[in-house]
Structure 1
Amino acid sequence: MPRGSASKPLVVAAVSVAAVVALGGSGLLSPWWSQFVDDLGQFCAGVAATLACWLTAPRHTGAQRRWRLWMGAGTAGWTIGQSIWSWSQLFRDVALPSPSLADAGYLTLPVFALPAIISLAAARPPSGAPRRRPGQLVMVLDGLIVVGALFVLTWATTLGSVVEAGAPTPFAFAVAIAYPVTDLVLTVLIILLLTVSAPAGRGQLTLLGAGLLCLSLSDSAFAYLVSKGADSMPPLADAGFIAGQALVAVAALVRPQTGVPPAPRRHARWMHLMLPYVPVAFTGVLFIAQLVRGTRVDGVEIAVETAVISLLIIRQAVTLVENAVLLDRVSESQARLTHQAFHDALTGLSNRVLFHDRLEHALALHHRDGRPLAVLFCDLDDFKAVNDRFGHHTGDRLLRQVAERLRAAVRDSDTVARVGGDEFAILLEGTGDPGEPAERIMAEVGRPFQIDGHSVGVGVSIGLVQAGEHGPVISADAMLRRADAAMYAGKRRGKGTLVRYRVDLPDGTGSSDLAEALAATLRDGSGLDVHYQPIVRFDDETVVAVEALARWTHPSLGPVSADIFIATAESIGLIRLVDDFVLDRACRDAAAFRGPWASIAVHVNTSAARLGRPEHEETVRAAVRRHGLAPHRLLLELTETAPLPDLGAAAGAVSRLGRFGVRFALDDFGTGYNALAQLHAMPVDEVKLDRSFTRADGGRSEAICRSIVQICTGMGVTVVAEGIETEGQAATMAALGCRYGQGHRYGASGPLAEVAPPGVLGPGDRAVVAG
């Protein structure tokens, strides 16, 4: 039989019941044989139910076994009672023997059916299925309330008169009333279980409920016939006894379903909530109708109704208590979830979300009242080595101890947060030098940690930023970025450092603030300028060219190092705008040179990576034409901060612009990527020897310089020595065959109006330059 399938046993049971009822009520048999067939059918149904329960019980365990054993005991007692009943009817010629010894057997069924139903309802759901159970006390109270209310309704309408008519003695009254009461209890219990819970044996419980309902219907028919003085029950009235036992047998034969039971639907939950109130409301309507009609209310009805109302009050009190307990649990859960949402699970510190919120609040106070605040961004040094050597468990314990030391190093009002794996952030509010707690943190974290008998040592790098120290801080994210940039600048210097944030952090670190300020400057051109440095001939120190150099002065930050802002422009993809600005300004200024500088060249730096792009070539031609500069007076210095993406394309661009008249130089020669390969591939006019060679003393540097000069001379390429600061350096380079030099020995870079000698710029030109 497929698991959970009840179709075949139901068909067999239905056919058997129909056959017995049809044969017994067909009129083809005599009354005695008709009663015999009816009683035999009931007896066989009871035997079938008992055997089905007891024979299938050993195949199961737990609740599925228990409920079969309990139900088998109940059906066995009922079958014994049916045997006594049949003997009295068939062989002692007693019409409807009541009360009798048979009642003791019949009433064992509800006694054992109750624990059977409870066991089946308690069956554990399949793995992974939610267990949905209401409060057991509330469910019991609901059942008693419903049973009591239904009893009042049935007693006031039919049951009272029926019982009184057939119960001349107290014992007979007790037996008569036992059937409807037990039937009501079992039926209501099953309805409650099916409504408010989802037992694993839901299908079996439904079959049991249907069987007990059939039995109660026949019990009701029997009570009615007794009250009317009938001398027999027709087979159709006994059909409930046969069908009820048959359904019990089917429930025992069916295996429980293994799937997850469906969740109760919304209407089912509402039905559960309203279940105890609906029958109570009907009893109220009944009482009102009895009062209006002047009908006498007997003692049983009053006693039961009083008990029902008392139970209803108790249920409400229990519900209020359970709701209060539930609200407390919900409040505790919400508090726990709130704490988990804003705190780090490992260290108990604030997490990034809470830190960000408090930083935003502190910034709001800073903007409104000028309240000081600072942020420390801490990153542990060599933490990965601890994990690799001792394992992640030790690493976690180390993080917890670090968190304790961080909290001890700052005030209680300061916020300490874990914002990453081994990264911590600290919000310092109020006056005082934030460098002092930073130094304490470095000292505390620098002390060895004792973990599982091991001495574990780590350091900490800290980035410090104060609000308002380098321009306004717009948001908490900007503040954290500044602190993070300062920390990483310290990491580049070495471990265990404290770095205060600056916009022009060393080592080309830069920051997003610098990038934003530079982008704004390049959009409107404010703050950018071009300075010039002369290039001279060694033998007579005559200026033969000037190099145009980009300079940037921010309104609030002041002058920014060229190395820093050039690197930033390259990182954000705006170096093209810097190059084009310097190119245009240099062409304009060179075209205005007069006197001794009337024919000198102007050197302009351009990124080698832009070579080969058509738009770059057109930009160069347009600048030369726009200002009327002779093309041969423009010399583009190719700077290399990254390898050339396409050396062939770059060489082609040099050749095309060379035919136009523009000349080229390789800047910082000897330090770039594949310098000799570029010298060979690209038809450049000059090579600018890097200052690292011209400043160095000793035979190796001189040998390198001599070789470069000889190579370039043989190729017809002019060599310019950079970084010349002393007369000795100039003499050495001249002796090695280099004819030109550039450096502070011949003048530092500066604005054109300060660098150009008299006669180079006319009054109008100086005004243009100054503007």
Structure 2
Amino acid sequence: MSRRPVSVPLAVAVAGVFGAVGLGSSGLLGPWWSLFVDDLAQFSAGLAATLTCWLTARRHTGAQRRWRLWMGAGTCGWTIGQFIWSWYQLFRDDALPSPSLADAGYLTLPVFALPALIALAADRPVEGGPRRLAAQLVMVLDGLIVVGALFVLTWATSLGAVVRAGAATQFAYTVAIAYPVTDLLLTVIVILLLARSAAVNRRQLSILGVGLFCLSFSDSVFAYLVAAGADHMPPLADAGFIAGQALVAVAAATPTRETPATTATGKTLQPRESTDGEARPHHRWAHLLLPYVPVAGTGVLFMIQLAQGRRLDGFEIAVETAVISLLIIRQAVTLVENAVLLDRLSDSQARLSHQAFHDGLTELSNRVLFQDRLDHALALHHRDARPLAVLFLDLDDFKAVNDRYGHHAGDRLLRLVADRLRGAVREGDTIARVGGDEFAVLLEGGGDPGVPADRIMAALREPFDLDGATVTVAASVGLVEAGTHGPVHTADMLLRRADAAMYAGKRQGKGTLVRYRVDLPDGTGSSDLAEMLADTLRDGRGLDVHYQPIVRLNDGTVVAVEALARWTHPSLGPVSADMFIATAEEIGLIRLVDDFVLDRACRDAAAFRGPWASIAVHVNTSAARLGRPGHEETVRAAVLRHGLTPHRLLLELTETAPLPDLSAAAGAVRRLGRFGVRFALDDFGTGYNALAQLHAIPVDEVKLDRSFTVADGGRSEAICRSIVSICTGMGVTVVAEGIETDRQEAAMAALGCRYGQGHRYGLAGPLHEVAPPGALDPESTLV
């Protein structure tokens, strides 16, 4: 904001003060006319201050209006007192009329100036009500305490002796001390307000404070002259009266920063204001210690005077007693205010804590609080085997309610659902809203968790009234019990299981309750299965190798066995091979499974004796590993480590994804082939490019997928005949998979397939159950 509205009246006021004082003190006028000019200047200044305060008050509201009205009343009283004073001086020939009726007018100024100052300082964006009143009361008490202590100090050192010497009566004595006391009070209040006021009013307060200080200065000179018995007051000493009233008028004419300034480009410039909450730490300490410093000074002074044998007079004792009483009152008010603030802080913290851990719409626990309680319950489960279950609910077709009735109705539905959930579970159970229309329930009390789950689903099936519209919703619920499907290490793991069971229910038709299990449809539980499998592969426990025979079709002689990975989990029991193999491929651990089976198969085959001394062992390996670093070394190392003849190892290439580099795979097969290892294409006919692989990779066998070993005389038989014919022409042996009946065996033999594998010749099982008597080394640990 431009400073022109302040600088112009300020310049006029300064010029007026210097002109009046200079003219009255120049000696160009006679004594009476000099006195007349001096009194006229003081009266004019007071009248100007009064009119300016009242006229500018009409253009403002609130505190800006109130302080001008208060100050105008004070300057009006002062101006009346000045008129009376001038009458005594000019027409009754009383140079220093004191005490007189003029004192009553003069002393109205501090009476009205005090509320004006407080109103001006209160015009700022702070919390109102009792706290503002308490802050104003403390400020006034601080001012009175400081004034009283400083007055005692000045009285005991110099002022007391001067006043006692010059005061003829008790009334004159009282009037004489009233001026320095009120002046000192206003000065201290201004200092306190300047330290605590907002920047938006500091300019007005500073100008007003300087004006009151000028008035106080001349008042002090007047009191001293009266006490000293002087016969007149020089015009220069009255300059404070003129300047003080002129500055009051300037302060009233000074506008506040009500509107932010704007630049030429239209950009708003926000003033940098300092509020109480932004006070620096040393400023806050200064505010707290301010009333105690002068009081401590009076105590030191009294101790020195007592040590010197000087007795305290009654006035000093009375004032010091009043100061101490005010200090006690001030401390009591501060303690009460602090107690109120602490209560508010405690309430605020409680509200913030509730908001941080509860859902704002339903007042249920939120995900943070639910996670914390679930972590604690899981810790108790691990330590004391306490029962623990989690329900995960999702409202079916909740979006349809929002779309049809609006989000307000959807919010009401969520609140009603929360109420029914509270009524369906026990008091100690934790219910949380963990998503838009998703809820979770923590059950810790034991018993069958399916019972509260059924109560919840029954409660939700009852119609809801949404402001006249009847809505029926259902919920898909997933249930998981800790410890029933393998160890649960984290709360997230338990929540994932409950969530997986819930989504499995949605796929089954919604509105259902599904208990979690690892082999949920569509691999829903595979994330937990992956963690369990990873744990197993780290220590190797739970993995085993079973063997299935491969026979010659014309006589049923076992010519090879296929090594198959099997996994038995301590809690889950046997896990489907298709499921855990697929999981191992998804998480990138199939290499560990393949290497485990390879090493075990080489060890077992090296121990074959008697009728099995020369049979081969087939081991599955991912075709994608061919040509990868380390794979060929792993195969060679396993063969050499157990002393197996390389020709007896046949690697079946499984394909779950297109080979990234067919030529690199072919090169790896050739290199291992020169070492002696043989290869087969597994599940031939179902891969991404079976004929291309058969052409590019020099394999020794082809294992015909079970989908073609159907003795129906149709297309499958035609495809099977073509594959056998192609492989025979290439010198590649064909093994038919999935043979279960005599008819299939006869059909495959008739098509030219020499070897077969399937349940017709035995299920996969541990080696000691599959191998015939005498097939294993008696000293081997495999027997």
TM-score by length of 2: 0.82
Aligned partner of 1:551 in structure 2 is 566
Amino acid at match of 1:269: R
1:367-516 matched pairs, under 5 angstroms: 369-387=384-402, 390-452=405-467, 453-467=469-483, 469-470=484-485, 476=491, 479-484=494-499, 486-487=501-502, 490=505, 495-502=510-517, 507-510=522-525, 514-516=529-531
Aligned partner of 2:635 in structure 1 is 620
Q: Does 1:260 align with 2:273?
A: yes
Identify if the C-alpha distance between structure 1 residues 426 and 614 changes in structure 2 by more than 3 Å, giving closer, same or farther: same
1:635-677 CA-to-partner distances (Å, cap 9, x unmatched) read 3323334444455544554455456554443433454545566
**Residue 208 of structure 1: CA displacement?**
1.7
1:166-565 matched pairs, under 5 angstroms: 176-198=176-198, 200-252=200-252, 254-257=254-257, 258-262=271-275, 263-282=278-297, 293=309, 295=311, 297-298=313-314, 307-363=322-378, 365-366=380-381, 369-387=384-402, 390-452=405-467, 453-467=469-483, 469-470=484-485, 476=491, 479-484=494-499, 486-487=501-502, 490=505, 495-502=510-517, 507-510=522-525, 514-555=529-570, 557-565=572-580
Amino acid at match of 2:625: R
> Which one is further off, 4-13 or 98-107?
4-13
In the alignment, structure 2 segments of 5+ residues that lack a partner are 258-270
1:494-544 CA-to-partner distances (Å, cap 9, x unmatched) read 544444444565654446665455334433433332222122344443434
Identify if the C-alpha distance between structure 1 residues 697 and 151 changes in structure 2 by more than 3 Å, giving closer, same or farther: farther
Aligned partner of 2:2 in structure 1 is 2
Equivalent residue for 2:761, pick from 737, 746, 765: 746
> Which one is further off, 511-520 or 399-408?
511-520
Q: Conserved in 2, the CA contact under 8 Å of 1:448 and 1:455?
A: yes
CA distance in 2, matches of 1:232, 1:563: 118
Compute the RMSD of aligned alpha carbons.
4.3
CA distance in 2, matches of 1:652, 1:389: 64
CA distance in 1, matches of 2:696, 2:461: 55
Aligned partner of 1:120 in structure 2 is 120
In structure 1, the residue corresponding to 2:453 is in which secondary structure?
A: helix
In structure 1, the residue corresponding to 2:187 is in which secondary structure?
A: helix
1:16-35 CA-to-partner distances (Å, cap 9, x unmatched) read 76676677667788766765
CA distance in 2, matches of 1:205, 1:603: 98
Identify if the C-alpha distance between structure 1 residues 327 and 576 changes in structure 2 by more than 3 Å, giving closer, same or farther: same
CA distance in 2, matches of 1:64, 1:698: 106
Equivalent residue for 1:691, pick from 693, 701, 706: 706
**Residue 145 of structure 1: CA displacement?**
4.1
Q: Conserved in 1, the CA contact under 8 Å of 2:96 and 2:226?
A: yes
**Residue 232 of structure 1: CA displacement?**
2.8
Q: Conserved in 2, the CA contact under 8 Å of 1:4 and 1:256?
A: no
**Residue 550 of structure 1: CA displacement?**
1.0
Q: Conserved in 2, the CA contact under 8 Å of 1:376 and 1:465?
A: no
CA distance in 2, matches of 1:673, 1:446: 49
Q: Conserved in 1, the CA contact under 8 Å of 2:497 and 2:525?
A: no
1:87-121 CA-to-partner distances (Å, cap 9, x unmatched) read 76567654233345655654454344334323321
Q: Does 1:587 align with 2:602?
A: yes
CA distance in 2, matches of 1:701, 1:132: 94
Identify if the C-alpha distance between structure 1 residues 628 and 368 changes in structure 2 by more than 3 Å, giving closer, same or farther: closer
**Residue 222 of structure 1: CA displacement?**
0.8
**Residue 744 of structure 1: CA displacement?**
0.5
Amino acid at match of 1:259: R
Identify if the C-alpha distance between structure 1 residues 625 and 234 changes in structure 2 by more than 3 Å, giving closer, same or farther: same
**Residue 236 of structure 1: CA displacement?**
4.4
Amino acid at match of 2:450: G
In structure 2, the residue corresponding to 1:396 is in which secondary structure?
A: helix
Q: Does 1:726 align with 2:741?
A: yes
**Residue 722 of structure 1: CA displacement?**
2.5
TM-score by length of 1: 0.83
Equivalent residue for 2:654, pick from 625, 639, 649: 639
1:48-96 CA-to-partner distances (Å, cap 9, x unmatched) read 6567656766765543354345445544664565566557656765423
Amino acid at match of 2:455: R
1:303-337 CA-to-partner distances (Å, cap 9, x unmatched) read 55555454444444444443443333333333333
Amino acid at match of 1:214: C
CA distance in 1, matches of 2:417, 2:51: 71
1:728-764 CA-to-partner distances (Å, cap 9, x unmatched) read 3334445556544321112111223332345544434
**Residue 604 of structure 1: CA displacement?**
1.6
> Which one is further off, 565-574 or 287-296?
287-296
1:226-277 CA-to-partner distances (Å, cap 9, x unmatched) read 2222233335433433443454355345544533215223233233333444
Aligned partner of 2:263 in structure 1 is none
CA distance in 2, matches of 1:74, 1:39: 18
**Residue 344 of structure 1: CA displacement?**
3.1
**Residue 212 of structure 1: CA displacement?**
0.9
1:35-50 matched pairs, under 5 angstroms: 42=42, 46=46, 49=49
**Residue 218 of structure 1: CA displacement?**
1.2
**Residue 462 of structure 1: CA displacement?**
1.4
Identify if the C-alpha distance between structure 1 residues 510 and 462 changes in structure 2 by more than 3 Å, giving closer, same or farther: closer
Identify if the C-alpha distance between structure 1 residues 625 and 372 changes in structure 2 by more than 3 Å, giving closer, same or farther: closer
Amino acid at match of 2:741: T
Identify if the C-alpha distance between structure 1 residues 630 and 30 changes in structure 2 by more than 3 Å, giving closer, same or farther: farther
Identify if the C-alpha distance between structure 1 residues 523 and 235 changes in structure 2 by more than 3 Å, giving closer, same or farther: same
Q: Conserved in 1, the CA contact under 8 Å of 2:391 and 2:477?
A: no
CA distance in 2, matches of 1:168, 1:191: 34
> Which one is further off, 613-622 or 273-282?
273-282
> Which one is further off, 377-386 or 164-173?
164-173
Q: Conserved in 2, the CA contact under 8 Å of 1:601 and 1:634?
A: yes
Q: Conserved in 2, the CA contact under 8 Å of 1:527 and 1:553?
A: yes
CA distance in 2, matches of 1:354, 1:295: 70
Q: Conserved in 2, the CA contact under 8 Å of 1:610 and 1:616?
A: yes
Q: Conserved in 2, the CA contact under 8 Å of 1:416 and 1:426?
A: yes
Amino acid at match of 2:209: G
CA distance in 2, matches of 1:550, 1:641: 17
Amino acid at match of 2:652: E
Q: Does 1:576 align with 2:591?
A: yes
Identify if the C-alpha distance between structure 1 residues 502 and 737 changes in structure 2 by more than 3 Å, giving closer, same or farther: same
1:433-464 CA-to-partner distances (Å, cap 9, x unmatched) read 22322232333334443334141413222122
**Residue 410 of structure 1: CA displacement?**
2.2
CA distance in 1, matches of 2:517, 2:650: 36
